[in-house]
Amino acid sequence: MPQTHRKRRPEARPDEILDAALAVFTEQGFAQARVEDIAKRAGLSKGAVYLYFPSKDAMLSALVEQSAGKLARAAEQLVAIGAPQDPETALRSLVKMLMTAMADPDISAAPRLVLTEAGRSPEIAAHYRSQVLDIARRAMSALLEAGVEAGRFRRVDTDALMRLMGGPCMAHMVLTTIFDLQPQDISDPADMAGAICDLVLYGLVPREKAA
């Protein structure tokens, strides 16, 4: 048997397995994904996977843990830098970033898994909630406060604003990845982000006719 010299790299294994797991979970969904397929893709046998993870569920948890917060922290940083100078531009950048991220299957893979699997696993839900939703909420709250302070924003409800910005991004993800709408059927994420920010910033009712 020709020696595949790809052995003895225990340090790198966990990440390799998680990469493979993300790919297979994304392609097949968690329940349909077979551990053996994950192992194959990582260049291992099934048994070896169990040297690094105690169960299939643990792989999902680790995956969520790894990717959860990455995006939220990026958003947090973007707000921290941009909001004090120009809250409006910061808001636009934030939505554009989020929308673009959700349109990218690689980036949205983990949130998508959470969406479909969190109902089955309360601990994943709780983890995601604290690691992502809470961070995002803090960032949005800070952004809004900066805008209000600067007299650029009305003092509105943080949660309403958060859902108004986050909801459409989630919708974009659902439409493209779950309902499988193709790019030609759906607006470019950056354009959509722009249109949504325009609407939220300036309102549906014309300015000259404000009630």
Partner DNA sequence: GCATTATAACTGACCGGTCAGTCATTAACA
Partner DNA sequence: TGTTAATGACTGACCGGTCAGTTATAATGC
Residues of this chain that bind DNA (CB under 7 A): 3, 5, 7-10, 13, 32-36, 39, 43-48, 50-51, 54-57
| Smallest separation, CB 67 to DNA (Å) | 20
Residues 6+ apart with CB under 8 A from 102: 108, 111, 169, 170, 172, 173, 176, 189
| Cβ contact 173:102 at 8 Å | yes
Give which of a copy of itself, DNA, none residue 132 binds (C-beta under 5 to 8 Å, depending on kind): none
CA 197-201-202 angle, to 5 degrees, is 120
| Smallest separation, CB 63 to DNA (Å) | 14
154 part of the interface to a copy of itself, by CB under 8 A: yes
201 part of the interface to a copy of itself, by CB under 8 A: yes
| Cβ contact 67:127 at 8 Å | no
Name the helix (H) or strand (E) containing 51.
helix 46-52
Residues that bind a copy of itself (CB under 8 A): 29, 31-32, 88, 91, 112, 115-116, 118-120, 122, 125, 128-129, 133, 147, 151-154, 156-157, 159-161, 163-164, 166-172, 174, 177-181, 186-187, 192, 195-196, 198-207, 209-211
